[in-house]
Amino acid sequence: MKLRRTRLYVPGNNPHLVENVGLYEADCLILDLEDSVPIDQKFDARIMVKYALQHVDFGASEKWVRINSMDTPFWSKDLEEVIPYVQVVNVPKVESYEELDKLSEKMHEIEEKHGVEPRKIVPIIETLRGLVNAREIAKHERVVAMAWGGEDLTAELGIPKSKALILEHVRAEIVIAAKSQGKMALDTVYSNIRDEEGLFEYAKRAKYMGFDGVGVLHPNQIEIVHKAFKPDDKEIEDARKIVEAAEKAMQEGKGVIALNGRMIDKPVLERAKKILAFAEVD
């Protein structure tokens, strides 16, 4: 099972930061072409990212690129450079299913040209309209996970982000939209990179909200988040019993999985598998 507990944002036009990304064991690495790149460096950055995707050792991390949003003139140029080498396209400010279709079409065109398999999409929901359409957006076949960001959304409402009560609801909505389609839900970043305890609590909350991971801005945050997402011993033990029971049922050709006289439903088995994956045991 592919984990996406952490996705590390790395400024795409900073080669010195990019060259070591594989060392930090984030589940996903995002070479960023959007917010961390000033307008006059967009051109250089997408070429830099194209080279980085080919030459940097990403280790076991999934290769993502955050392209510029579809209301800019940059997004299709970004795709032209990175599609041949990327695994996941991270798209900011997605507002509708139709937008993703348009994006997907462009991706398809480039994939055909280079003879590469279809790339995945992780949309970022950042506006009220996007939020309203989140459940539709999550249905798109390329979407493997859904992320969100609160800056634009709180600006739309005219409230400061740090005090916005609505964000808890937004989080719930993202989880419901993504998970109801069997996709992952990813929480946003914890921006105080010096506050390790705060990050740990934040990641724990994200986990119990139903998220599969959070964004990280600094490599030092990765280990802490992974620790927060690690199930406790009791959870692991229970999960192991369920998975073992399932394996036994499989071997014995039984259609029903039973443990201690109780029937195990499919979602329960899936949760057990997920817990074991998060515990990093097979």
Partner 1 sequence: MVEAGTHEKGDAWVLIEPSERREVIVKSKLERLYGNAIRETIESMTSNIKAKIVVEDYGALDWVLRARVESALRKYRGEQQ
Partner 2 sequence: MAINAVGRDVPTEINGQRFKPFAGDMKTPPEGRRAGSLLRMVPEGRDKVVDSIEEVIKKVGLEDGMTVSFHHHLRNGDFVVNMVMETIRKMGIKDIRVFPTALFPVHAPLVDMLSDGTIRRIEGSMNGPLGEATSYGAMRETAVLRSHSGRVRAVESGEVHIDVAFIAAPTADRYGNLNGVDGPSACGPLAYGMVDAYHADHTVAITDNIVPYPAHPISIFQHQIDYVVPVDKIGDPAGIMSGTLRITTSPSRLKIAKYALEVIDRVALRDGFSFQAGAGGISLAVTKFLGDLMKKRGIKASFINGGVTKYVVDMLHEGMVDVVFDGQAFDLDAVKSLREDMNHIETPLAMYGNPYSSGGIVNMLDVGVLGATEVDIDFNVNVNTHSDGLLLHGIGGHQEVAAGSALTIVTVPLYRYRVPVIRERVTTVTTPGEVVDVVVTEHGIAVNPKRDDIIEAMHGSRVPVYDIQELQKKAERICGKPEEPKTTDDIIAAILWRDGTVIDVVYKVKK
61 lies in the site for partner 1, by CB under 8 A: no
> Closest CB to partner 1 among 23 and 281?
23
19 lies in the site for partner 1, by CB under 8 A: yes
> Which range in 46-54, 197-205, 213-221, 256-264 contacts partner 2 by CB under 8 A?
213-221
23 lies in the site for partner 2, by CB under 8 A: yes
Given 42, 63, 93, 119, the residue binding partner 1 (CB under 8 A): 42
* Shortest distance (Å) from residue 126 CB to partner 2: 27
Given 1, 54, 208, 263, the residue binding partner 1 (CB under 8 A): 54
Query: Which residues of the chain form beta strands (DSSP E)?
Result: 6-11, 28-32, 62-66, 88-91, 120-125, 145-148, 184-187, 213-216, 258-259, 262-263
Q: Distance between CA 105 and CA 154 in Å, rounded? A: 31
219 lies in the site for partner 2, by CB under 8 A: yes
Note whether 107 and 91 are within 8 A (CB). Answer: no
48 lies in the site for partner 1, by CB under 8 A: yes
> Which range in 38-46, 141-149, 215-223, 255-263 contacts partner 2 by CB under 8 A?
215-223
The tokens for 199 are 């990050």
> Closest CB to partner 1 among 15 and 198?
15
Left, alpha or beta for 25 (phi > 0: left; psi -120 to 50: alpha)? Answer: left
The tokens for 8 are 């590390």
24 lies in the site for partner 2, by CB under 8 A: yes
* Shortest distance (Å) from residue 25 CB to partner 2: 9
220 lies in the site for partner 2, by CB under 8 A: yes
Burial, 30: exposed, middle or buried (Cβ in 10 Å; 0-12, 13-18, 19+)? buried
Residues paired with 214 in a beta bridge: 6, 187
Residues paired with 148 in a beta bridge: 125
> Which range in 20-28, 90-98, 175-183, 253-261 contacts partner 2 by CB under 8 A?
20-28
> Which range in 44-52, 106-114, 198-206, 254-262 contacts partner 1 by CB under 8 A?
44-52
* Nearest in space to 22 (alpha carbons), one of 13, 37, 5, 10: 10
58 lies in the site for partner 1, by CB under 8 A: no
* Residue 111 site contact among partner 2, partner 1, none (CB < 5 to 8 Å, cut-off depends on kind): none
> Which range in 45-53, 108-116, 165-173, 195-203 contacts partner 1 by CB under 8 A?
45-53
Q: Distance between CA 150 and CA 161 in Å, rounded? A: 7
Burial, 197: exposed, middle or buried (Cβ in 10 Å; 0-12, 13-18, 19+)? exposed
Q: Distance between CA 103 and CA 75 in Å, rounded? A: 9
Tell me which residues touch partner 1 (CB under 8 A): 13-16, 19, 40, 42-44, 47-48, 50-52, 54-55
Tell me which residues touch partner 2 (CB under 8 A): 16, 19-20, 23-24, 218-220
